[in-house]
Amino acid sequence: MDGLRWRSILAALGIAAALVWVVPNVVSFGENSWWPSKQKLNYGLDIQGGLHLVMGVDVDGVVRESTNRLIAALKVEMPKENVKVADIKSEKPEAGEITFVVAQASDKAAVEKFIADKHPTQLQVVSSTDTTILARYFDAYLNDYKNRVIQQAIETIRNRIDEFGVAEPSISQQGANRILVQLPGMADAEKAKQLINTTAKLDFMIVDTSMQQATLQNLVNEAEKAGNYNLQSMKYSEYVAKINEDLKGKIPEKTAVYFEKAGNVTTIDAGAIPHLLRTDTDLGGGSLDDAFVGYDQYGAPQVSLNFNAAGAAKFADLTGNNVGKQMAIVLDKIVKSAPSIRDRIAGGSAVITLGSTGDRNKSMDEAKMISTSLRAGALPASLEQLEERRVGPTLGADALHKAMMGAYAGAALIVLFMLVYYKTMGAVASLSLAVNILSLFALMTSMGFTLTLPGIAGIALTIGFAVDANVLINERIRDEIRMGHGIQVAIKEGYSRAMSAIIDANATTAATAVVLLYFGTGPVRGFAVTLLIGIITSLFANVFVSKVIVDNMVYKFNFKKIAV
């Protein structure tokens, strides 16, 4: 009897805990409410609606930038190693190809030895002539590098989305250069798209003063007129690329033209101020430790930046070597500000001022957006939106309503069948089934899982397994009664003999669910997770709890006969 009492207490505690987790899904509690749990079940994109985006990742652009950085490093390294080379260039930087030009054929051996010794896992020599050596990234290195770019982009997007508190976002790779983003229940879709599409590539660039502002503006106007385009008719990134291509040879080498939004307009395409910037400063967002919203002496919002140790040293050198010049703070090729460098800035801190917009709320929103993007980390590659679908809540609600109607109808038929066919034990089985469903939703809520339509299918299958367990138990009890055993022996032997079949069935189902969870993606994983949780709750409710109920009926309330 002591064992029955403790089992009864354990069952009651389990049911009470399930109620604690489930109730917030149907009753709204305030933050200061006495109820111990406030967490609610998350619903997937197919149920509550949300945003579906497919983003293209400019992987080739990252490889191009990596190749150009390597070329710059080689131009510094090779003279230090006394390796003679006339020039280092690349015809196909996006393919990771580098051409070494030597003055005479006798210098080729030294160049090849340098490549083999200093970059043995990165570069390979693929061909050569009397005066050139063509090297290229190893295929394995290039493929691994591209994959790391995609994975870094996925993690960065995930960090940014987490800032919005989206429950269970789905962010996964599609093919070689695409990322699928699904945001269930995203309330502010436009803001999410803005944050995802922002590459948050921060650069600190010195303003080139060799050309007057008026002259630069005239060159920009002439290029627009000759090419018959302007900022209003193109995306900003495409416009900047086109302008710099058209101005090649008209502006100094290692410079680029980027634009700043004029102070009296709301968008950059309504008014842009060109800046001629040096592209060789090599200080960007990768050197940042933190970015947060602060306030200037007049209380206006601004973005404060803290550099890591290496970034702080670079920043100190950059400001120290360019005292008296302007340093542009460039975010995604847009000049945010261009303060003058009055002295060497040590300590690793900097500020992005947003200028005067006339609207404090807009300035605050912009500051938050920039700091959020930078805090998540600068993307190594730019993103392009290839596809957008908004799943409306009406579709999700309709699908959920149909699924719920099907579940209610199925549950009603099961309960009716159990009551008619197994009578009292059928009522125990139905009560255990209710505890099973309650426990399943409680576990999903407490663990923060997301309920999707495939998950609802998993719940339906769980109910089937649970009923099957009770059918096995009841049939075993019937067998014992037919053999002339009393109700106590029949109950004991019935549960005992049915357990082996129940365990075998649930073990094989669990193994299948684990395989689906490990190898599956998206909806398949949602189905597998629900199925695994359902197996646990089925063993608790339809085996343990039902046995506790029956034992109490027989041993505590002295039932001499139970209709089966």
137-157: pLDDT as tens digits = 999 988 888 887 787 777 777
How far apart, in whole angstroms, are the C-alpha atoms of residue 225 and residue 228? Answer: 5
With cut-offs at 50, 70 and 90, classify the pLDDT of residue 165: low
Asked if the model's pLDDT at residue 126 lies above 70, the reply is yes
| Range from 62-66, 274-278, 463-467 that averages highest in pLDDT | 274-278
Q: Which of 92-106, 126-140, 450-464, 527-541 shows the lowest mean pLDDT across its residues? A: 450-464
With cut-offs at 50, 70 and 90, classify the pLDDT of residue 562: confident
243-270: pLDDT as tens digits = 999 998 889 888 999 998 887 766 677 7
According to the model, what pLDDT value does residue 277 have? 92
Mode of pairing for the β-strands spanning 301-307 and 178-184:
unpaired
Q: Which of 25-29, 210-214, 531-535 shows the lowest mean pLDDT across its residues? A: 25-29
According to the model, what pLDDT value does residue 175 have? 82
According to the model, what pLDDT value does residue 270 have? 73
Domains and CATH numbers, the chain: 2-43+393-556 (1.20.1640.10), 60-142 (3.30.1360), 198-389 (3.30.1360.200)
373-390: pLDDT as tens digits = 555 445 556 777 788 777
Which DSSP helix (H) or strand (E) runs through 181? strand 178-184
Question: Which whole number is the average pLDDT over 434-446?
Answer: 91
306-339: pLDDT as tens digits = 777 777 888 888 888 888 888 887 877 888 777 7
474-484: pLDDT as tens digits = 999 999 999 98
387-426: pLDDT as tens digits = 877 776 655 567 667 777 877 787 788 889 999 999 999 9
How far apart, in whole angstroms, are the C-alpha atoms of residue 86 and residue 132? Answer: 10
**C-beta pairs of 62-65 under 8 Å, 24+ apart in sequence:** 62/146, 62/149, 62/380, 62/381, 63/93, 63/94, 63/95, 63/96, 63/137, 63/142, 63/145, 63/146, 64/93, 64/94
359-374: pLDDT as tens digits = 777 777 777 766 655 5
According to the model, what pLDDT value does residue 98 have? 93
